[in-house]
Structure 1
């Protein structure tokens, strides 16, 4: 499911129009791409605009509140047409809410009375109203038939950091109400957490001759024992020895694409970050992310006789005091 528009703007469902406008302005200033240099800022800003365009209009907001993310696919006269097809009068269907995956919905009548128990397929429902029998007013088979495009659906696509970095073809198996389905997916190199991959026409079935919806695979980057992602930037811990930290050295550092070399400046302490420009997640449409290696000074777990002598000599001759304020 797409993110709830109220959640995007950070307001409650009962928020006033003024509160919605204020929330949008505050978020827009924070996430505008000209101000926020985060790689995700542009996508976040588009999401804010989409949410505001819907919730700022009272009529559109009312339809969104009633039909959820599929409100654009429901004809504006849906209630009138369905109510007429069902016999008119007070027994017409008043609305629906989602009731699970697979594009199945639960219809409600009147003031929320549940209809149909475990959910009803659009195609089954509207076929019963308008297909194969007398249409509204007895006009004959198929008269007034409602055609509604299939609902878009969404599923998660778990990827390792390395798989997200490289991209490529993947076979994905998803479980649905009709059983398992397997898809061949082309994962673009450098996909990041939350990015969606669209599979056109693989979503919910449409009614009548209406087209099927799309299936969106939302990327979920799995936890990694070494790498931590922040947008397209990659963070990694870089262990170094006391002498490498003190004297400086060129050491290998792991990246999602392999191994790179980084120069540790002399006098580096734990916590110092070294930046490797362009060694983060690739961006085919922009600037690649960076890799940040954070130094962690490691001491030998045990010392040989000569090592101990050298450290003792260093302790006697060095005036360095790490606990002295500098």
Structure 2
């Protein structure tokens, strides 16, 4: 995937105001419009300009785009940094779901039909937002008829990253969220707020926690919207998560794998004892039932055995390996060549 420098495409600095964005788009859209341009690449440039405008005209998309930084070059190979959208608070869905052939892979991965990025969360909440928007429309219609004006606030959404141990035990966490707004000078800025959040035991990656009344303020006495927090797990150097199941690699000595052994295995909620069966091979997957993320039923913990070879870094160690070579009539490649 290639990085798109939307500011460069529109000929703007990153400090451009929203009015600057609008003026630049109008100028370039006329220049490259397929019915007006004589340039051979006019249609492609027109689409590129339109894509840049789709992002930079929208305060939320622009703020999300700005968060990945300006150190990338247009056309450079790119992959979004892990959890680049963590703690980013946004309002309801604005896009429809599927990919648009006029938009680049970069746009689709960040904002479109992919399973990552801001829009994927927006799409998941689209049904809720549609019902809310319909209610707002009815409220406005009543106001225009002379009725008392009252409208519920918008629901907001954000992604938060928690530790895997929080899913095992539950936790109280203080989280900081940032929401894009336009300041008096027309620049997109981020406003911060901090919330104390209860992370329930058994929470899953991708699950949404609803904080009632923590979304946008209502109008005319209307109730505030809700805040939906999408849960993600912080990357762990040891554990891997798949739904409610957790797995990890555990090193064992050759004699433990060959003869069997009892070993101590770490889990996100403390250590447990596990039996390595006699004759285990490297890569064998052992299941500890119910030791995954708590639930009803709970997930499982899978232990993958990695056979760790002692180093032959002393004369005694080399002699021991030579004794093994002579003791075993063993060819590790006996069936390798077919």
Residue among 284, 294, 297 paired with 1:282: 294
Counterpart of 2:239 in structure 1 is 227
Q: Is the 8 A contact 2:252 2:306 kept in 1?
A: yes
The answer on whether the counterparts of 1:81 and 1:144 sit within 8 Å (CA) in structure 2 is no
**Which runs of structure 1 show a deviation greater than 6 angstroms over 4 or more consecutive aligned residues?**
1-6
Partner of 1:272: 284
Residues 3, 179 of structure 1: alpha-carbon distance in 2 compared, 3 angstrom cutoff: closer
Q: Which residue of 2 aligns with 1:167?
A: 170
- Larger % of strand: which? 1
Q: Can you give the 5+ residue segments of structure 2 that lack an aligned partner in the other structure? A: 1-89, 102-120, 182-189
CA distance in 2, matches of 1:223, 1:292: 17
Secondary structure at 2:175's aligned position in 1? strand
Is residue 154 from structure 1 mapped to residue 157 from structure 2 by the alignment? yes
Unaligned stretches of 5+ in structure 1?
15-46, 55-63, 86-129, 137-142
Q: Does the C-alpha gap of structure 1 residues 278 and 4 become closer, same or farther in structure 2, counting only changes over 3 Å?
A: farther
- Alignment correspondent of 1:198: 210
> CA–CA distance in 2 between the matches of 1:149 and 1:79?
11
CA-to-aligned-CA distance 1:191-216 (integer Å, 9 cap, x gap): 11111111111101122121011111
- Rounded Cα–Cα distance in structure 2 between residues aligned with 1:168 and 1:316: 56
Q: Does 1:325 align with 2:335?
A: yes
Query: TM-score normalised to the size of structure 1?
Result: 0.58
Q: Which has the higher contact order (CA 8 A, sep 6+)?
A: 2
String of CA shifts for 1:278-325, please: whole Å, max 9, x gaps.
111111xx1111110101111123343333222211111212222223
Taking structure 2 as the reference length, the TM-score comes to 0.56
Q: Secondary structure at the match of 1:170?
A: strand
Q: Does the C-alpha gap of structure 1 residues 4 and 314 become closer, same or farther in structure 2, counting only changes over 3 Å?
A: farther
Would the aligned equivalents of 2:167 and 2:294 in 1 still touch at CA under 8 Å? no
SS at match of 1:162: helix
- Tell me the C-alpha RMSD between the 2 structures: 3.4
| CA–CA separation in structure 1 for the residues paired with 2:221 and 2:291 | 49
The alignment covers a number of residue pairs equal to 217
Q: Deviations over 1:133-164 (max 9, x none)?
A: xx66xxxxxx2454321111111111121223
In the other structure, the counterpart of 1:308 is: 318
Structure 1 Cα separation of the partners of residues 200 and 311 of structure 2 = 43
CA offsets 1:257-280 (integer angstroms, 9 cap, x no match): 111111111221211001111111
Task: Please show how residues 186-265 of structure 1 align to structure 2 within 5 Å.
Answer: 186-265=198-277
Query: What is aligned with 1:295?
Result: 305
Q: 1:12 to 1:303 in 2, by over 3 A?
A: closer
Offset, 1:79: 8.6
Note closer, same or farther for the CA distance 1:146–1:73 as it changes in structure 2 (3 Å cut).
farther
